[in-house]
Structure 1
């Protein structure tokens, strides 16, 4: 998996994409396969991306999976640019279960958002290859934002600050997800587990640590690099701690 983004959201016909997302355009005439729908096309594209990567998604490949002709798909979606935005909206549908947004307070809601977003990237690693700096705002994006804002409004921050809190969590999660997903990709491509990879370096590193050049590193607890410490959760909670300081200060001033 490349570290750079390969696709960009909003690269298709923006107006047509919005029509498809919000179902405001003309419905296509029935194709040769009566069961063919836009929903099936998008879901099939997502399944291909999940299984074989975003590069594997093409109109021809989707048509083959659905057992129809490639040209039939163009009755429903103009091209891959618009299809990508439909895929993004599909996988980011917010949960309908209120419990998935935490226990009720703003902190648990943002923590739940962070964990859910990490799980999303792990389920759909191809998302990391999409530049979403300018997203097309479909139902999933707005539904998710509306639900989250309703939970964190009691923070008492300004509207830009509330949105920034959500952006902050998302940015943190993207970095953590990239580290995890790329590590898993490295294991698959090299055949070495992460543990085996670092064990291969240990004979040299052990000698280096006895030179006195790195006294702090040499003095670290032997469990420092172990799998038991949850780095993601530690970082997430520290971000929330920082927000809590701001919220407490803002409430005191009010």
Structure 2
């Protein structure tokens, strides 16, 4: 931010509004909600302190009293949408795989509702109130897994990372399909025909065998479930 020294800090450790003065006119929840509305409508590139201030009806400079850095604004946004997780109260039924699968599905749905989310996700944002709530729930869901907490944290990170990668790839494929002057199926047919010609002379015997066997069929949802199940298999 112009004219403001960059320094590390945790926004959750700061008061809602820096300095003295009257009661704050806006809460962090108000600011985060405004930024999320902008990002949902116009993308993360449209989120600026000026645009958020305009959405709230306040001056841009006054917004810095609430949110000193744009990184803090992003963290507020991530925490706000993380509050959309539906986490049941109390312990689960002990089926840690089923609970992690359900959480993975929620994460995918969350990122689809807010396509900008993978762009600003950071491990540094793991200390927000809703992030801590999510992590505590995950660790409770994993009580039935005989593994140290370090391994459980690794599992949670790998599930989230895998889901994010899958969703980002879904976005990329959809964007590419929209840009094609023909259908993606037509594109695939041409490319598979070319590939078949390349392996036909025996130069790539293993690849030819793999293509003959073919991948397991399935739509995007089935492939997602298979990916998560195989990841969980590695920890079971």
Place the TM-score, normalised by the shorter chain, in its bin. 0.7 to 0.9
Establish whether residue 29 from structure 1 lines up as the match of residue 26 from structure 2.
Answer: no
Q: In the comparison of the two structures, how many residue pairs are matched?
A: 227
Question: Alignment partner for residue 241 of structure 1, among 222, 233, 236?
Answer: 233
> Does the 8 Å contact 1:102/1:112 carry over to 2?
no
What TM-score, normalized to structure 1?
A: 0.73
CA shift in 2, pair 1:27/1:240, >3 Å:
farther
Q: Could you tell me how far apart the structure 2 residues matched to 1:115 and 1:144 are?
A: 14
Partner of 2:79: 89
Question: Aligned partners of 1:231, 1:189: CA distance in 2, in Å?
Answer: 24
| Correspondences of 1:1-254 after superposition (within 5 Å) | 13-15=8-10, 17-19=11-13, 29-30=22-23, 36-93=26-83, 95-98=85-88, 104-130=94-120, 132-190=122-180, 193-199=183-189, 201=191, 204=194, 215-216=208-209, 219-220=212-213, 227=219, 230-244=222-236
Q: List alignment gaps of at least 5 residues for structure 2.
A: 1-5
Cα deviation code 1:66-122 (max 9, x no counterpart): 3333233223211312111111111112634418x9754211111112212222222
More relative contact order in 1 or in 2 (CA 8 Å, sep 6+)?
A: 1
Deviation at 1:243, TM superposition (A): 2.0
1:7-64 Cα distance to aligned partner (Å, 9 max, x none): xxxx86414x1235x8597787357xx5x43312111111222222222110111122
- Unmatched segments (≥5 aa) in structure 1: 1-10, 245-254
**In structure 2, C-alpha distance between the alignment counterparts of 1:56 and 1:94, rounded to whole Å:** 22
